[in-house]
Amino acid sequence: MDPNELLMTAARAVGVYALVLVIVRALGKRTVGNFSAFDLLVALMLGEIVDEMVYGDVRFIQGTVAMVTIGTITCADSWLAYFDRGMEAVLEGKPTIVVKNGEFHRAGMRQERMNERDVLGALRRQGVRDMREVEYAILEHDGRVSVVQFDWAQPVVKADVDAKMSRARQNALKGLDQPPIEKQTDSSQALNVDPRELE
C-alpha cells in the first residue's frame, strides 16, 4: 500500500469530519437528539467506514487509518473543549435560553427553530405544569431542555420540615444560602452566555 494513499485517506477523513461537523452544527441542537454533535458525527462516520470495509469497497488498512484518524480527531476535540471554554462553545455549541422569567424567550426559540408547542412539550417532559414557575428553560448542547424553577416553585424537601435534616443541610452548605459562583448551575458562567441575557 502506497504511503501517499494512506495519507490521502487520513486527509479525506479529516475533511469529511470537518464537513459533517459544520452541517450537524448548522442544523441545530434538536437535530442530534440526545447525542452531542460529536457523538452523532463519530457514529455516522465510523458506521460508514465499517460498512465500506465490510463490503470490500476500501482496503482494510485504509479503513483502519480512517478510523484511527477519526478517533484521534475526536480525542483532540474533547481535550480542546475541556481546556478552553471558547473552543467548547465553537465545537459543541452553547446552551440557549428558550424560557425566561415564565415567558417564551423568542430570540432563543428563533435561534433554535423551536415553536411554542416544542417548548411546552419539553417543559411537560420535565414535569412542569405551569410555565410561570420557570425562571429559565435552557436547550442544552445535546438537544435536551433543562429547567430552573423560581425558588418559590421549588418542591419541599426534608430539610424544610425536619430539624435534623435542616442541620445536615446547614453543615453541608456551610451556612451559605447562595452557592458560590462555580457551584451555580444557572449562572451565566455555567450557561456560557452573556450575563446580560440573564437579567
pLDDT single digits (tens) 85-124: 676 666 667 889 999 999 999 999 999 899 999 999 999 9
Q: What is the per-residue pLDDT across 10-24, written as a single tens digit (0 to 9) for each? A: 887 787 777 777 766
Question: For residue 104, which phi and psi values (nearest 5 degrees)?
Answer: -60, 135
Residue 27's pLDDT is 58
* Position 169 pLDDT exceeds 70: yes
Residue 187's pLDDT is 60
E strand residue ranges, the chain: 96-100, 103-104, 134-139, 145-149
Which residue type sits at 121? Answer: G
> How far is residue 176's CA from residue 97's CA, in Å, rounded to a whole number?
27
Residues of the chain with pLDDT > 70: what percent? 77
Q: Is-contact 32 24, C-beta < 8 A?
A: yes
Q: Is-contact 137 123, C-beta < 8 A?
A: yes
Task: Report the alpha-carbon angle 78-80-83, nearest 5.
Answer: 105
Q: Is-contact 160 150, C-beta < 8 A?
A: no
In this prediction, residues 162-170 reach a mean pLDDT of: 83
3-state DSSP assignment of residue 139 = strand
Question: For residue 191, which phi and psi values (nearest 5 degrees)?
Answer: -80, -15
* Position 178 pLDDT exceeds 90: no
Residues of the chain with pLDDT > 90: what percent? 21
Q: Is-contact 146 157, C-beta < 8 A?
A: no
